[in-house]
């Protein structure tokens, strides 16, 4: 530790050391319980007598800023109220940071002020918010063993810098895996990324300039729309109906605005859980191919489908080579590993690789190798079947409960895939206004506006069923239905600004 | 697997299956050795008789497109020449991708055409190129054990989505760790990122708009300058001399161009290995504080220093709160884990967090927790001492050999930290022109132009000593000195375009 000692000062050296350490503890820089350096070491590194350091520590203990444990050393102690004092610490600020922020940062901030879709649930309540898989289903121990073997067998090379494209055996596995769904991609057509989120980011930075028009399905995944907006895109919504994004609107947009690309989730649409009909897929592909415009397909996970047939990715029908496919293991496996992939035609994949290299050099090869071992040993397949069954059961329970409890005028989508459905309230109600009342009854959800590009969707809300225990679903729907019924009985009113901004506590 | 079957066609179904699989194998979509689905499974999923699939497989085997192993199944076989045919496969291309690439992608591509600084060494040769730590020093097995324990103890929560700021115990550890070097940062002032590379990226996107001026030391780390350029910055070089970036040039730039920020590596400068003098540090800090301009400090790793005193980060002297510090574990520990961190004043850290969240949601919490366990158990400290000793020894051997072998007129820096030094050739020579000749003698290096913002530096080259076995250093310098001597004897000539573009084979 560096402590500035001024020997020509009238203040004793022990007092200087004590004051310095006291400030560090007071300001939260030495957190509660952090061990102070051994007196011998600190004396040595400061070039002072050990007794001087001992004295300083004794004074700290006497003043309540540290605790001494015989034989173990001295530990920082934060007296009550220290957190407040740390927060109140005034920093000199010759920089007006807010004047320096880029257009991108300002856009991101503006979007961050929108209703959140991923806020953590209240304790004790029943949450249909969030959109994560159930960590109770994670095959954690199997993964631990696989990870251990991978480090033992290939540790040194996996812990070194690694080529950007990704771990070749994982890309070869994905090539064969995607064939199951009819998606033909060679290993060299695949780029490993940090989850689908980094996929959006790399695609946006490679294809979008500020001011470019970007067509996007509506509703859609909020973090995708935020990324395109952060890179300066003007978003043009293409509304979904029961069969997918409307091709007539899509064609009109292409005609009038010549957008740079179109983003959609054809097979497991978040928030509705719907899949596009074969006709819609053909219509979108044909229109985009005619205009020479790429389609960005967010693939979610094709193994999490609840119908009789597996959904076919749009990319599998892409004879023209215009679709960039984004895949992820965050839905069926572990979101925390941050492993996803892009499939793209060679000229654009090369640029995406270059963008990835500048973004963070490469994705952890160790994690890629562990995921590969896990998949190769058919552990993924076994787990996917188990997970799809569990989520399918919850979906069924949710649909059943909605049918039993919801008042007339409430409608909802029937998810064919994914983790959620979209519910629409009777015309008088607003989901944002409903949320605090629902939370008061112990149930939460995600207001729909977050999924709408143009700020509409106030009557909609998303119910996620993936992470909620099956036993809580009925009760959650019951409470939500009660809240809606109570709200319907009140006199109509226009939602106020505060209601729209209410956090998902 | 999805195979389109047309039953009303005159072509037998077995033949259709065979033709489809043959195409997949021919086009490299079913790679050599990939197991075909079990006949029973494929027959079931296609809704055909099992004998039909068996027949199709037999035909594939007979034609050499597959191998049958009794009791194991049928495996794709790529006959010789298949790779060439796969590459020649013509994709219909209604999209002119090159017309769609963003300004950022075009900038990245232009920079990718510059001489590379990280190309892998020729087999059998002695390489002073690259800039990675020596994987032979990695404490791989200790890390394996730590990783295993972390998954066992906290697996399910570490494999779920995680808050963007990072694993709190790791941030608390870093807070105390940085105090050793005099850098005061509370855990909440720290953001975990995917290595310092993602740090550059997040800072650039948060602070830089296209057309902004950015001041940058010269020479500097190529991937940093490429990131700022990719975000549209106009780079203004501030030249290093033996004491650091020149403050007079810096002040003139600030005066005339009001740059958005200044990027530098004060304590372990890549490529020179130098550290800034205390006067330079004060001069830069004072000038930047007066103009309210942030300094981006790339900290490398303060534990890898070869002098008597540990280098003090610029951030440790930053009373005004204008320095954003970038730290990494890629130098002393494992680059492949991609773990780094940012320390920044609260208003800008908040924006960096938002940018990180949109970039890839968060860095793998599992890896963060494993690194924390590793550090907490003092394994990092023990390893850092060992690594610094090994690198220090190689540095000494390199300096000694240069003194013994280099002809007059060749000069070089004496590294105080880091992994490399910068050598300057006599005025007649060009490093790019020297490289193929050196490679012919079995020694390589990185030509210096990659480190120069303005394309200068042709007489300089970087010698990295970190990953080269100590026993090879003397011989490598000997070969390089011979190459230089031979080149000096030739008639002077202007380097041609091809010399400058020569790849580091």
A422-441 pLDDT per residue, tens: 999 999 899 999 999 999 99
Identify the residue with better confidence: A406 or B301. Answer: A406
Q: Are residues B60 and B129 in the same domain?
A: no
How confident is the model over B236-250, as pLDDT tens digits? 999 999 999 999 999
Q: What is the pLDDT of residue B117?
A: 42
CATH number of the structural domain spanning residue B191: 3.40.640.10
Among A95, A175, A230, select the one facing B322 at the smallest CB separation: A95
Is the pLDDT at A84 greater than 90? The verdict is no
> Measured between alpha carbons, how far is B64 from B58 in angstroms, rounded to an integer?
10
Determine if the peptide bond prior to B163 is cis (ω within 30°).
Answer: no
pLDDT single digits (tens) B327-336: 999 888 899 9
Determine contact: A107 vs chain B, CB below 8 A: no
What's the pLDDT tens digit per position in A69-81?
A: 988 899 999 766 5
Q: What is the C-alpha separation between A186 and A184, in angstroms, rounded? A: 7
User: Does pLDDT of B467 surpass 80?
Assistant: yes
Q: Quick one: average pLDDT of B149-154? A: 97
Nearest CA in chain A to B173: A34
Are residues A295 and A316 both part of a single domain?
yes
Q: What burial letters (b/e) apply to B377-416, b meaning 16+ CB within 10 Å?
A: eebbeebbeebbebbbebbebbbebbeebbeeebebbebb
* Closest by Cβ to B92, choosing from A93, A118, A319: A319
Report residue A503's pLDDT band, with 50, 70 and 90 as the boundaries: very low
Q: CA B185 to CA B343: how far, in whole Å?
A: 7
Q: Confirm whether A131 is domain-assigned.
A: yes
Best mutation target, A97, A196, A339, A344, to test chain B (most B CBs within 10 A)? A97
Using DSSP bridges, classify how beta strands A73-76 and A66-69 pair: parallel, antiparallel or unpaired. antiparallel
Beta bridge partners of A76: A66
A window 425-484, beta carbon within 8 A of B: none
pLDDT of residue B90 exceeding 80 = no
Given A333, A354, A378, which residue is the final one in a domain?
A: A378
**Contacting B residues, span 317-356, partner chain A, CB-CB under 8 Å:** 319-322, 330, 334-338, 345-348, 351, 354-355
Summarize pLDDT for A407-427 with one digit per residue, the tens.
Answer: 999 999 999 999 999 999 999
Looking at the structure, tell me whether residues A296 and A425 fall in a common domain: no
pTM of the model: 0.90
Residues 6+ apart with CB under 8 A from A91: B321, B345, B346
Tokens of B232: 């549209």
Residue with tokens 């086009």: B27
Domain identity same for B188 and B315 = yes
- The count of other CB atoms within 10 Å of the CB of residue B92 is 10
pLDDT-wise least confident of A63-67, B68-72, B206-210, B496-500: B496-500
Helix (H) or strand (E) holding B377: none
Q: How far is B408 from chain A (nearest CA, A)?
A: 37
B333 and B191 share a domain?
yes
Q: Are residues B338 and B455 in the same domain?
A: no
Phi, psi of B441 (to 5 degrees): -90, 5
- Taking contacts as CB-CB distances below 8 angstroms, the residues of chain A near B260 are 100
What is the structure's pLDDT at A501? 40
Q: Is B187 on the interface with A (CB under 8 A)?
A: yes
Both B261 and B198 in one domain: the answer is: yes
Indicate whether B4 belongs to any domain. Answer: no
Task: Tell me the CA distances in angstroms from B439 to B128, B419, B433, B482, one per residue in order.
Answer: 11, 21, 11, 12
What is the predicted pLDDT for the residue at A202? Answer: 98
H/E run at residue B173: helix B168-179
User: Phi then psi for B245, rounded to 5 degrees?
Assistant: -65, 140
* Same domain for A481 and A355: no
A88 has a chain B CB within 8 A of its CB: no
Cβ contacts (< 8 Å) between B466 and chain A: which residues? none
Which of A:273-292 have CB within 8 Å of B? 289-290, 292
Contacts by residues A381-384 (CB-CB < 8 Å, ≥ 24 positions apart): A383/A137, A383/A139, A383/A142, A383/A332, A383/A333, A384/A301, A384/A303, A384/A304, A384/A332
The pLDDT-based confidence of B71 (bands split at 50, 70, 90) is confident
CB-based contact (8 Å) between A83 and chain B?
no
DSSP string, A254-286: HHHH--S-EEE-SSS-TTT-----HHHHHHHHH
Q: Are residues A30 and A80 in the same domain?
A: yes
Q: Which residue has the tokens 């892009």?
A: A342
**B353 domain-assigned:** yes
pLDDT score of A83? 54
pLDDT higher than threshold 60 for residue A171:
yes
Which has more confidence, A140 or A88?
A140
The verdict on residue A65 lying in a domain is: yes
Do residues B473 and B481 touch, judged by C-beta distance below 8 A?
no
Q: Using CB atoms, pick whichever of B34, B100, B112 lies closest to residue A354.
A: B112
Is A47's Cβ below 8 Å from some Cβ in B?
no
Our count of domains for chain A comes to: 3
Query: Which residues on B lie below 8 Å from A363 (Cβ)?
Result: 338
Q: Is the pLDDT of residue A95 over 80?
A: yes
For range B164-177, the mean pLDDT: 96
Top-confidence residue, A301 or A243? A243
Answer with the residue of higher pLDDT: B300 or B234.
B234
Of B102, B160, B260, the CB nearest to A100: B260
Same domain, yes or no: B359 and B410: no
| Cα pseudo-dihedral B112, B116, B117, B119, rounded to 10 | 120
Cα gap A198→A224, rounded to integer Å: 10
Contact A94 B320 (CB under 8 A): yes
Closest chain B CA to residue A199:
B360
Cα-only R_g, chain A:
28
Q: Record the tokens describing residue B79, joined without a space.
A: 């006959």
Average pLDDT over residues A388-397: 96
What share of chain B in percent tops pLDDT 90?
A: 77
Q: How far apart are CA A281 and CA B77, in angstroms?
A: 34
Specify burial of residue B435 (Cβ count, 10 A radius: 0-12, 13-18, 19+): buried
d(CA A139, nearest CA chain B) in Å: 9
Say yes or no: B365 and B445 in one domain: no
Residue B100 lies in a domain: no
B385 has a chain A CB within 8 A of its CB: no
Nearest Cα to Cα of residue A233 among A111, A318, A356: A111
Which residues are bridge partners to A343 per DSSP?
Answer: A190, A325
CATH number at residue B428: 3.90.1150.10
Residue B238 in 3-state DSSP?
strand
pLDDT at A31: 85
**Chain B CB within 8 Å of residue A96 CB:** yes
ipTM summary value? 0.90
Q: And the tokens for A125?
A: 């309540």
B2/A312 CB distance under 8 A: yes
Contacts of A360 in chain B (CB under 8 A): 193-195, 197-198, 201, 338, 360
CA–CA distance, A215 with A166 (Å, rounded to integer): 30
Three-state secondary-structure class, residue A400: helix
pLDDT classification of B501: cutoffs 50, 70, 90: very low
Quote the minimal CA–CA distance from A94 to chain B in Å: 5
The CA distance from B53 to B3, in Å, is 12
Q: What is the pLDDT of residue B502?
A: 35
Per the prediction, chain B carries an average pLDDT of: 90
For residue A96, being part of any structural domain is answered with no
Residue pair A67/A75 in contact by the 8 Å Cβ criterion: yes
Put simply, whether B379 touches A (Cβ < 8 Å) is no
- Residues in A closer than 8 angstroms to B334, CB to CB, are 159-160
CB contact under 8 A, B292 and A95: yes
Give the gap in angstroms from C-alpha A431 to the nearest C-alpha of chain B: 25
Q: Residues of B with CB below 8 A from A180's CB?
A: 1-2
Q: Closest partner residue to B322 among A94, A98, A151, by Cβ?
A: A94
In a domain, B487, yes or no: yes
- Does A7 fall in a domain? no
Structure tokens at A116: 């959140």
Write the CB contacts of A145 (distance below 8 Å, at least 6 apart in sequence): none
Do A358 and B321 lie within an 8 Å CB cutoff? no
Domain CATH for A22: 1.10.10.10
Mean pLDDT across the stretch B371-390? Answer: 93
Last residue of a domain, one of B378, B401, B420: B378
Which residue in B132, B155, B338 is closest to A140 by CB distance? Answer: B155
Indicate whether A224 and A293 sit together in one domain: yes
Q: Considering only the beta carbons, identify the residue of B103, B132, B193 that sits closest to A209.
A: B103
Q: Among A362, A378, A394, give the residue marking a domain's end.
A: A378
Distance of alpha carbon A147 from alpha carbon A143, whole angstroms: 6
Q: What length does chain B have?
A: 505
The reported pLDDT for the residue numbered A88 is 45
Residues of chain B neighbouring A147 (CB-CB closer than 8 A): 147-148, 151
The encoded tokens of residue B112 equal 């990718």
* Nearest-CA distance A226 → chain B (Å): 8
Cβ separation of B364 and A337 shorter than 8 Å?
Answer: yes
Domain that holds residue A57: 13-88
**pLDDT given for residue B122 in this prediction:** 53
Give the distance from residue A218's alpha carbon to the nearest chain B alpha carbon, in angstroms. 19
| DSSP reduced 3-state for B458 | coil
Distance from CA of A16 to the nearest CA of B (A): 15
- Inform me whether the C-beta atom of residue A139 falls under 8 Å from chain B C-beta atoms: no
Instruction: Give the residues across from B417 on adjacent strands.
Output: B305
- pLDDT tens readout for residues A208-247: 999 999 999 999 999 999 999 999 999 999 999 999 999 9
Mean residue pLDDT across chain A = 90
- Least confident interval from A263-277, A304-318, B168-182: A304-318
């Amino acid at each position: 530790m560096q402590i500035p000692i001024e020997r020509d000062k009238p203040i004793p050296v022990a007092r200087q050391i004590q004051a310095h350490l006291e400030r560090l503890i007071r300001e939260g820089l030495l957190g509660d319980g952090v061990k102070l350096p051994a007196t011998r070491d600190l004396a040595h590194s400061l070039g002072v007598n050990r007794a001087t350091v001992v004295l300083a520590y004794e004074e700290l203990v006497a003043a309540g800023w540290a605790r001494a444990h015989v034989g173990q050393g001295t530990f920082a102690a934060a007296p009550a109220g220290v957190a407040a004092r740390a927060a109140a610490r005034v920093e000199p600020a010759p920089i007006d940071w807010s004047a320096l922020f880029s257009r991108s940062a300002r856009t991101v901030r503006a979007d961050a002020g929108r209703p959140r879709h991923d806020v953590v649930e209240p304790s004790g309540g029943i949450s249909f918010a969030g959109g994560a898989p159930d960590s109770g289903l994670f095959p954690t121990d199997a993964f631990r063993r696989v990870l251990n073997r991978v480090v033992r067998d290939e540790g040194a090379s996996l812990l070194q810098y690694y080529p950007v494209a990704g771990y070749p055996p994982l890309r070869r596995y994905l090539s064969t895996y995607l064939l199951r769904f009819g998606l033909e991609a060679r290993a060299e057509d695949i780029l490993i990324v940090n989850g689908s989120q980094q996929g959006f980011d790399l695609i946006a930075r490679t294809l979008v300039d500020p001011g470019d028009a970007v067509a996007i399905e509506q509703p859609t995944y909020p973090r995708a729309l935020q990324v395109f907006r952060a890179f300066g895109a003007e978003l043009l919504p293409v509304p979904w109906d029961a069969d997918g994004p409307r091709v007539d609107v899509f064609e009109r947009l292409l005609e009038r605005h010549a957008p740079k690309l179109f983003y959609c989730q054809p097979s497991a649409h978040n928030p509705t859980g719907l899949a596009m009909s074969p006709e819609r897929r053909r219509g979108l592909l044909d229109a985009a191919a005619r205009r020479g415009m790429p389609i960005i397909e967010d693939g979610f996970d094709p193994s999490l489908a609840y119908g009789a047939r597996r959904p076919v990715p749009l990319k599998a029908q892409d004879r023209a080579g215009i679709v960039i496919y984004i895949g992820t293991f965050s839905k069926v496996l572990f979101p925390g590993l941050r492993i996803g992939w892009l499939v793209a035609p060679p000229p654009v994949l090369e640029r995406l690789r270059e963008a990835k290299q500048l973004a963070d050099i490469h994705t952890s090869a160790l994690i890629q190798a562990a995921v590969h071992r896990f998949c190769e040993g058919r552990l993924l397949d076994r787990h996917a079947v188990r997970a799809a069954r569990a989520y399918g059961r919850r979906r069924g329970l949710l649909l059943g409960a909605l049918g039993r409890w919801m008042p007339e005028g409430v409608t909802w989508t029937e998810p064919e895939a994914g983790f959620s459905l979209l519910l629409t309230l009777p015309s008088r109600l607003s989901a944002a206004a409903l949320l605090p009342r629902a939370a008061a009854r112990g149930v939460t959800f995600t207001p729909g506006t977050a999924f709408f590009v143009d700020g509409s969707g106030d009557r909609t809300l998303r119910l996620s069923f993936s992470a909620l225990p099956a036993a809580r679903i009925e009760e959650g729907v019951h409470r939500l239905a009660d809240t809606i019924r109570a709200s319907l009985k009140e006199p109509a009113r226009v939602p106020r600004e505060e209601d729209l901004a209410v956090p998902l506590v």
